[in-house]
Amino acid sequence: MKPAIRFTTIVAVVNIVMGMAFTLLPIPEMIYHYTITGHWVRQLPFLIWWSFDVYAGFVYYFIYPLYIVIGFSGIIIHMGFDCLFCILAAHICVHFRILKHDLGNLTDLLDGTENIIENRKKVNPKLFGIVEKHQIIEECHNRMNTIFNFALFYNFFVSSFIICIQGFMVTAASGYTLIKFALFLASFLVELFLLCFYGHHIVESSILAAEAAYHCSWYNTNHQFRTIVLQMINKGQNPLTLMAWKIWPVDMSTFASILSASWSYFTLLRTVYAD
């Protein structure tokens, strides 16, 4: 869990820095413009449609703090989704590791000097507990898939376009606008990487649990033990995979494909813009 905590801390720091850049950088920009020209040019962090002029009079001084609240509220919601997903995925991976350890030590209970009945009394109850734990992990995975599948689908669907647009803005912008878009691009890439990384980690952990079942010396046990272990091995042939609405698997291959698509859109946009 410590790596997950470190990664989520990095996500939080990047998002907070991005929020500060988007909401607070217009202030030093206005001060710099005033020192150069002697005139105040009021700015706002981002565009929102209002039914009145937000730059006029004292209304501006009430609206600007509202922009800060809106910006950080969106960042907290966005960050909460990422951190929750990573922590839950890390919990599933930890339980798979515990399951792997239990399977590896399962046949250590066997004693060659005892008869088959005594060995069965020792091993079978623990094996049943491992099977029950494996079923609980699968149920947790299915619930997590149900909760996050649409949000992951939306995230992956718009990711390639957002990365393309932000990359283009980074190459075209200057000044503090460049800093804003660069931080936004970095934040989005870190978020996408973490989602795919922990989704891929679940796949690898489920495969390792199946391999541990295969290497647990099942061939020295009774028929019931071998049958149960064989079922676990067969399940391991189809590793647990989180899906983005049954379209994209949440793993590193999806991360690579999104980056590849973003680069294709980016080069096309640069070509059109250059022409």
pLDDT digits (tens, 9 = 90+) for 12-59: 888 888 888 888 888 988 998 899 998 889 999 888 889 899 998 899
- Contact yes or no for 49/158 (Cβ under 8 A): no
- In order, the DSSP letters of 64-126 are HHHHHHHHHHHHHHHHHHHHHHHHHHHHHHHHHHHHHHHHHTGGGG--TTS-HHHHHHHHHHH
The tokens describing 90, both together, are 């890390």
* Residue 169 lies inside a defined structural domain of this protein: yes
Burial 78-100 (b: 16+ CB within 10 A, else e): bbebbbebbebbbebbebbeebb
One-letter amino acid identity for 199?
G
Predicted pLDDT at 177: 77
Residue 244's SS3 state is strand
Structural domain boundaries, residue 219: 2-97+132-274
Q: Which helix (H) or strand (E) holds 249?
A: strand 248-249
Question: Domain tally for the chain?
Answer: 1
* Residue 43 lies inside a defined structural domain of this protein: yes
* Residue 231 lies inside a defined structural domain of this protein: yes
* Residue 202 lies inside a defined structural domain of this protein: yes
How far is it, in rounded angstroms, from Cα 245 to Cα 199? 14
How far is it, in rounded angstroms, from Cα 103 to Cα 179? 51
- Contact yes or no for 63/44 (Cβ under 8 A): yes
Q: What does each C-alpha distance from 97 to 18, 83, 102, 221, 229 come to in angstroms? A: 35, 21, 9, 23, 17
* Residue 110 lies inside a defined structural domain of this protein: no
Q: What does pTM read for this prediction?
A: 0.84
- Tell me which of 262 and 121 has the higher pLDDT: 262
* Residue 102 lies inside a defined structural domain of this protein: no
Predicted pLDDT at 113: 46
* Residue 148 lies inside a defined structural domain of this protein: yes
CB atoms within 10 A of CB 117: 9
Q: Which residue has the tokens 């922990």?
A: 198
Encode pLDDT of 144-200 as tens digits: 999 999 999 999 999 889 999 988 888 888 777 788 788 888 888 988 999 999 999
Q: Which of 73-87, 111-125, 135-149 has the highest mean pLDDT?
A: 135-149
How far is it, in rounded angstroms, from Cα 41 to Cα 32? 10
What values do phi and psi take at 112, rounded to 5?
Answer: -65, -15
- Mean pLDDT is lowest, of 115-119, 180-184, 248-252, 261-265, for 115-119
Burial class (CB in 10 A: 0-12, 13-18, 19+), 144: buried
Greatest alpha-carbon pair distance for the chain in Å reads: 95
Nearest to 18 by CA among 79, 65, 63, 60: 79
- Contact yes or no for 229/42 (Cβ under 8 A): no
* Residue 242 lies inside a defined structural domain of this protein: yes
